[in-house]
Structure 1
Amino acid sequence: MAPRSGAVAPKSLPMAPRSSAVAPNVLLLFFFLGRHGAQISAGIASLWGPQGLGYDFWAEKILKNPDFNVLVMGTMAPRSGAVAPKSLPMAPRTCILLFQVWQFRRLILETLHVDLHDELDFVGELARLNSKNYQIWHHRRWVAEKLGTNATSKELEFTEKIFSEDAKNYHAWSHRQWVLQALGGWEDELAYCYKLLQDDIFNNSAWNQRNQIGSLAAFLFIIRYFVVTRSPVLGGLEAMRDSEVAYAVNAILAKPENESPWRYLRGLFKDDMQSLVNDPRIASVCLDVLLNKRDCVHALNMVLDLLCHGYEPSKTLENAIDTLCLDSGVSDSGLTDRVCSVLQVVDPMRANYWKWRKSMVPVRAVQGSNGKESAG
């Protein structure tokens, strides 16, 4: 490819077959070399030697040419268009080329011993414009790893800026989790998760208007679980369980129709269902939701899990379920069966699932509920 002025890239350019578009490789590379300008061009000359292409081609044809700026999708963009860096499309057909460019950029950065704090700023500009391009995040991780703990606070702040625009950006969350595990910064992470969840669960009118209640909360609860279970400063799940159960219960009472805190509550008792059964707060929050006759699917589902693991319900909880049975026209004998039947009515989309759950109820759960009723 040739610039509009007619200058053609030399055929002796390394790194490319004769039939390939040589100039686009070179020019796109220079876009990524960006702000280091003449210093990097000198570095390229030292890497490739003083002969042939080297310094003259880069400096005269690209750096000093007022007519052109950067390569955009294989074409030269006029400097007057002010296209850099917004117009770089990161399209699939440029992925292999971009990978080579990033790799070469890292070689030059190491060779010239460039200040990598400046590099973080440069990559940040690109990431904010192309926040879901994995090669940008890979390069940023490389830079942060080189800087070590000196980059911790800057990386956490950067990801927070990304989340303010896209709270479910997978690349940003993956990068943040890597930073926490590799560079530290756990101290305020639980408080940060708390803030995000407060905004979504306890003040989520915007989500209600968009009929997306809980979609972000589900993601944020996963992140919170990651922090609780992985943070070296919190003591692990066992140490945090009591306070996290209290947090989940409050979130449920605020929005019982949001499935996320219910699932989080179960996750806190992973591989320890007996502790779930024995914690009085679990049955209590279910009872509160059922008594208020609010959206009861998740509460009934939790009650079903409790009953299947040997929970002996209080008379108040039984009465609340019986009231729902009357409203739903259910007349099964066992309490566990009645819960499943009510769920088939109030959650018709999953009626077959609840029918299957009913068929899989442990014998001891059925016998326990029937026996208690007979004794009464």
Structure 2
Amino acid sequence: MSEFQKTEAGTEDEEDFTFYRDRPEWKDVKPVPQDDGPHAVVAILYSEKFKDVHDYFRAVTRIGETSERALELTKDAIELNPANYTVWQYRRKLLRELGKDLYEELTFVRGHIEQQPKNYQVWHHRHVLVEWLQDPLLEKRFTEMMLSQDAKNYHAWQHRTWVVKAFQLYEGELDFTDQLLKEDVRNNSAWNYRFFLMLYPKKADDETAKKEILYTMKAISRVTHNESAWNYLRGLMVKLCACNPNVLDMIWDFCLELKKSGTDSPHLLAFMIDILDARMEASIENRQENLKSAQGLCRLLAQEKDKIREQYWLYQSDWLQCKYIPSSVDE
């Protein structure tokens, strides 16, 4: 067995490619081979094309060359490895120093995003271009297109969030999430983005928060085992309503109706425990009764509805007991 484990990289077709070492316009550049040291743990079996392109890329970065040929070289290097941060960074340096058309570059990077929609480097490159241009006109439509292919693409959501916040493009965004949730009410990314919209550009007022709570409860009624919607409702309750007693009563009545109708979702029962906890924290009134109800729900989850987390719910029951009715200490 060989001393080194070898894997292939850059094994694309080389028939139509002219090596940089054979190009007359590059004769003045001495390529810089990769140096893995004398005892490389894993020797990667790069293709000849990969080695050729990157040997010349290392050469131009070493001397800091700013030229059209260097820009073209970065294009070849990116084609071979679109996740190489150093190549993208050097390309951005060249774009600025050569005064290139950044809208053409947006088209260039769009092609790479479409090919590798979950590559951080291509999204970051687009982010920087939009920031330089101070023009977000294309971004909402572009991210919408990418999310239509994968509605949970983290990079597309991150880019859209940044664009909307940086350029104050909030109009129509709630409708956008509403459409996605109609298509898939379990889309956790859409719920997460919707929560962002509730907090920015300013915290939603009481009327808006109440309307959003009603919207969420309607969504939960459709799919009661949807953890995403329950988490969203919990966030609204804590962050927007500050556990307002009137709001808690409204949500509690909703939960009771679900439970009476036969819904046994562990998310429902866990949420009811949260409400009871909030009530006990806010007031000592009916604390014994609320504690008894919360501990009963903990036992129900531990013994029947969420047995895989039995120990967790038993711990929660004990923790609530200690929190609200601590044992007296004998002197």
Contact 1:283 1:303 (C-alpha < 8 Å) held by counterparts: yes
- 3-state SS in 1 of match to 2:22: coil
- Alignment equivalent of 2:155, drawn from 171, 177, 180: 171
Q: Which residue of the partner structure matches residue 298 of structure 2?
A: 340
C-alpha separation in 1, matches of 2:223 and 2:127: 38
C-alpha separation in 1, matches of 2:305 and 2:168: 46
- Count of aligned pairs: 279
- Alignment equivalent of 2:197, drawn from 216, 224, 227: 227
Q: Residue 162 of structure 1: CA displacement?
A: 0.9
Q: Which residue of the partner structure matches residue 251 of structure 1?
A: 219
Contact 1:340 1:355 (C-alpha < 8 Å) held by counterparts: yes
Q: Which residue of the partner structure matches residue 110 of structure 2?
A: 124
C-alpha separation in 2, matches of 1:162 and 1:112: 30
- Alignment equivalent of 2:100, drawn from 91, 114, 119: 114
C-alpha separation in 2, matches of 1:145 and 1:302: 42
Q: Residue 161 of structure 1: CA displacement?
A: 1.0
- Alignment equivalent of 2:310, drawn from 334, 343, 351: 351
Instruction: Extract structure 1 runs of 4+ deviating beyond 6 A.
Output: 18-22, 26-29, 363-367
Q: Residue 302 of structure 1: CA displacement?
A: 2.1
Structure with higher Rg: it is 1
Q: Residue 267 of structure 1: CA displacement?
A: 0.6
C-alpha separation in 2, matches of 1:120 and 1:243: 39
Q: Residue 160 of structure 1: CA displacement?
A: 0.9
Contact 1:196 1:220 (C-alpha < 8 Å) held by counterparts: yes
Q: Which residue of the partner structure matches residue 34 of structure 1?
A: none
User: Identity over aligned residues, as a percent?
Assistant: 28
C-alpha separation in 1, matches of 2:118 and 2:209: 34
- 3-state SS in 2 of match to 1:144: helix
Q: Structure 1 unaligned runs (5+)?
A: 30-43, 49-53, 64-69, 73-84, 202-213, 313-317, 319-332, 368-376
Q: Residue 199 of structure 1: CA displacement?
A: 1.2
Q: Residue 283 of structure 1: CA displacement?
A: 1.0
Contact 2:102 2:129 (C-alpha < 8 Å) held by counterparts: yes
The one-letter code of the counterpart of 1:224 is: R
C-alpha separation in 1, matches of 2:258 and 2:107: 49
C-alpha separation in 1, matches of 2:164 and 2:322: 46
Q: Which moved more, 1:186-195 or 1:300-309?
A: 300-309
C-alpha separation in 1, matches of 2:273 and 2:98: 65
Q: Residue 122 of structure 1: CA displacement?
A: 1.5
C-alpha separation in 1, matches of 2:180 and 2:148: 10
State the superposition RMSD in angstroms: 3.8
Contact 1:334 1:366 (C-alpha < 8 Å) held by counterparts: no
C-alpha separation in 2, matches of 1:105 and 1:290: 59
Q: Residue 200 of structure 1: CA displacement?
A: 0.8
State yes or no: 1:90 paired with 2:81.
yes
- Alignment equivalent of 2:127, drawn from 141, 164, 167: 141
After superposition, the Cα gap between the structure-2 partners of 1:139 and 1:4, relative to the gap in structure 1 and judged at 3 Å, is closer
The one-letter code of the counterpart of 2:22 is: A
Contact 1:252 1:261 (C-alpha < 8 Å) held by counterparts: yes
C-alpha separation in 1, matches of 2:27 and 2:108: 31
Q: Which residue of the partner structure matches residue 198 of structure 1?
A: 182
Contact 1:127 1:133 (C-alpha < 8 Å) held by counterparts: yes
- Alignment equivalent of 1:99, drawn from 85, 97, 103: 85
- Alignment equivalent of 1:264, drawn from 227, 232, 244: 232
Q: Give deviations 1:312-356, integer Å, cap 9, x for gaps.
A: 9xxxxx9xxxxxxxxxxxxxx943332222222221111111111
Q: Which moved more, 1:19-28 or 1:105-114?
A: 19-28
C-alpha separation in 1, matches of 2:293 and 2:90: 68
Q: Structure 2 unaligned runs (5+)?
A: 1-13, 36-49, 59-63, 284-288, 327-331
Contact 1:253 1:285 (C-alpha < 8 Å) held by counterparts: no
Q: Which residue of the partner structure matches residue 324 of structure 1?
A: none
Q: Residue 28 of structure 1: CA displacement?
A: 7.6
C-alpha separation in 2, matches of 1:229 and 1:191: 16
Q: Which residue of the partner structure matches residue 6 of structure 2?
A: none
C-alpha separation in 1, matches of 2:112 and 2:27: 31
After superposition, the Cα gap between the structure-2 partners of 1:270 and 1:90, relative to the gap in structure 1 and judged at 3 Å, is farther
| Structure 1 length-normalised TM | 0.63
After superposition, the Cα gap between the structure-2 partners of 1:113 and 1:19, relative to the gap in structure 1 and judged at 3 Å, is closer
Q: Residue 223 of structure 1: CA displacement?
A: 1.2
After superposition, the Cα gap between the structure-2 partners of 1:194 and 1:310, relative to the gap in structure 1 and judged at 3 Å, is same
Q: Which residue of the partner structure matches residue 204 of structure 1?
A: none
C-alpha separation in 1, matches of 2:125 and 2:138: 15
Q: Which residue of the partner structure matches residue 24 of structure 1?
A: 53
- Alignment equivalent of 1:180, drawn from 139, 164, 168: 164
After superposition, the Cα gap between the structure-2 partners of 1:300 and 1:19, relative to the gap in structure 1 and judged at 3 Å, is closer
C-alpha separation in 2, matches of 1:267 and 1:159: 26
- 3-state SS in 2 of match to 1:17: coil
C-alpha separation in 1, matches of 2:217 and 2:321: 27
After superposition, the Cα gap between the structure-2 partners of 1:128 and 1:358, relative to the gap in structure 1 and judged at 3 Å, is same
| Structure 2 length-normalised TM | 0.71
